[in-house]
Amino acid sequence: MLASRLVAPLTGERTEEAVRYLAERYPSLWVTTVGKSVMGRPIWMLRVGQGEPRLLYVATHHSLEWICGSALLLFCEEYLKEEARNRAPHGTLYLVPCLNPDGVELVAKGIRAGGVLSHLVRRATGGMGDTSRWQANARGVDLNHNYEAGFAAYKPVERALGITGPAPTRYSGEYPLSEPETRALAGAVDTLSPHAVLSLHTQGREIYASRAARAAGALLARRIGYTLGTPEGAAAYGGLTDWLDVRGMPALTVECGLGVNPLPPETLSQVYREVLPLLWHAPRLLGKM
């Protein structure tokens, strides 16, 4: 069972092992990469189902939020099992479980996972080299502030937070889509033209919706016992859902679970149970937008 392989925090290496495990056991699974990280690690994308609507599910923009990537991999296996029984809903789902493989490696293995960029990571941590709270990619860019939506407006907010360059979190980068990870995902959005996008994060049991997805977001929030909220402060700039909102695309940011990041590994089953109905029903509700 895949679940037994995901009891520890997700890393880039464990993501690849899980993808290969699924590919070996389910011939209908289509596997590719959307690109590579700063350190050259693959960014995997899995496709399940067929036909329309087409939805894109993305997890682990932030490395401390790896539990969402594990939940997405568990969902992939469950979907494939239902598909083998001819019980999967109609539509095509594209799943990116780990957009930030360098970041999760830094959290799990420490500064040595930064390789040639370890000096930058050490400087970004104030010389301490402690990566246990690292959210960014290997260049110290917070991927969910690196999209072209309110990017310029966020820079004064960034400076007010004392962030002037690469940091463990909240540094937006030199310019929008400066990072290979966000460029890879933006390219996938352009290529796939999905009907809607779900971005999984932790924590707060809230859903943020683009304007085109407010009605569906409210229904999905009620279904899983979450609240439909509005991002505030630094969280209101440069995110994937913000960028898709500018483009008029239905998109949801789902803040899974409750607690303090990183949510402990033993909460994976609870987080998965919470968001599973959303993952199943999103195509029906968002595919109509």
Q: Of 212, 210, 207, which Cα lies nearest the Cα of 229?
A: 207
Judging by DSSP bridges, how do beta strands 91-96 and 206-209 pair with one another?
unpaired
- Which CATH class name applies to 2-102+178-286? alpha beta
3-state secondary structure the chain: CHHHHHCCCCCHHHHHHHHHHHHHHCCCCEEEEEEECCCCCEEEEEEEEECCCEEEEEECCCHHHHHHHHHHHHHHHHHHHHHHCCCCCCEEEEEECCCCHHHHHHHHHCHHHHHHHHHHHHHHCCCCCCCCCCCCCCCCCCHHHCCCCCHHHHHHHHHHCCCCCCCCCCCCCCCCCCCHHHHHHHHHHHHHCCCEEEEEEECCCEEEECHHHHHHHHHHHHHHCCEEECCCHHHHCCCHHHHHHHCCCCEEEEEECCCCCCCCHHHHHHHHHHHHHHHHHHHHHHCCC
pLDDT over 70 percentage in the chain: 99
Query: Which residue's entry shows tokens 């960028």?
Result: 243
Closest CA to 272 of 90, 36, 55, 59: 59
Task: Say if residue 109's pLDDT is above 80.
Answer: yes
Q: How confident is the model at residue 1 (pLDDT cuts 50, 70, 90)?
A: low
List pLDDT tens digits, range 133-176.
999 999 999 999 999 999 999 999 999 999 999 999 999 999 99
Is the model's pLDDT at 106 over the cut of 90? Answer: yes
Cα dist from 253 to 7, 45, 144, 213, whole Å: 25, 19, 11, 11
pLDDT in tens, 194-203: 999 999 999 9
